[in-house]
Amino acid sequence: MTLTVENTERWVTVDGHKLRYHEAGSGAPLVLLHGSGAGVSGWANFGNNLPVLAEHFRCLILDQPGFGASGRPEVYERNYLRIAADAVIGLLDELGIEKAHLLGNSMGGGVAAMLALDHPGRVDRVVLMAPGGVGVNVLGPEPSEGIRRLMEYNANPSDERAMGFLRAMVFNEATLTEELVATRLEAAADPRGQAALRDAYATFFNPKMAESLPLWARLKSLQHEVLMLWGRDDRVTPVEGALFPARQLPNADLRIFSRCGHWVMVERKAAFERAVIEFLQHGL
């Protein structure tokens, strides 16, 4: 059976908000957490990887609160990473899942790292793909080109600015097929999604919602086996940022993909899927 948005779509209510997720496959549970950006959703990030990964795992691709079709609090009163991490715990509770693997891209990588730190017993192995808040950029400009493009889009959403963001995601612009671009631009034009993205990012820059310790300062406490995947030409979370977590995480391996930007799961799809399956089934 061909896996589609419609036949994999499921719903769960967490803290009074309906969250959409996509489910396929059987075996060890694997929660996939998308990044941020114009027109983002769980399916937009991982839908093309689902057929392969679902042959090995019970895959749960979550639309995090406010993104895709998921609901959200009207006002964010905490750092968004905490809101999203709690939503994942709520999903696991509702489905009766005690422990799951986590795979997070960009912002979703930050959510996965925070969840593993705060709820270690609920997490098995962790894949962090160019994770937000985990890397430390010491040489390149701050914010990075990709984050700057996203902030420009947040300030004044338009198709032109959304395209600027999408181009910063990839090494080879041929990756941005007409279908991919059309789908992302249509989703990016939704005012509800624009507001959710803007509000989530506002929590990252609000001093009142800052963590007592940033994620990168807590990495030595993360004892899980971790596989970090990074594109060599990432313009959102530059690859130099991988060096600090590669040293600090006690049980982590780092793999760098050539000819690849921020979207390892798109530009190096087959290699990404092989690496994830090998690691989650056999460990480091």
> Annotated catalytic sites, by residue?
262
Written as six digits, the tokens of 118 are 């705060």
Burial class (CB in 10 A: 0-12, 13-18, 19+), 238: buried
Phi, psi angles (nearest 5°) of residue 225: -70, 130
Helix (H, G, I), strand (E, B) or coil at 31: strand
Angle value at C-alpha 275, between 133 and 90, nearest 5 degrees: 50
CB 49 within 8 A of CB 275: no
Burial class (CB in 10 A: 0-12, 13-18, 19+), 141: exposed
Phi, psi angles (nearest 5°) of residue 257: -105, 125
Written as six digits, the tokens of 104 are 């997070």
Sheet strands (E) in 25-177: 29-33, 58-62, 100-105, 123-129
Query: Rounded CA gap, 113 and 115, in Å?
Result: 5
Written as six digits, the tokens of 218 are 């807590």
Beta-carbon-side half-sphere exposure of residue 148 (alpha carbons within 13 Å): 8
CB 68 within 8 A of CB 20: yes
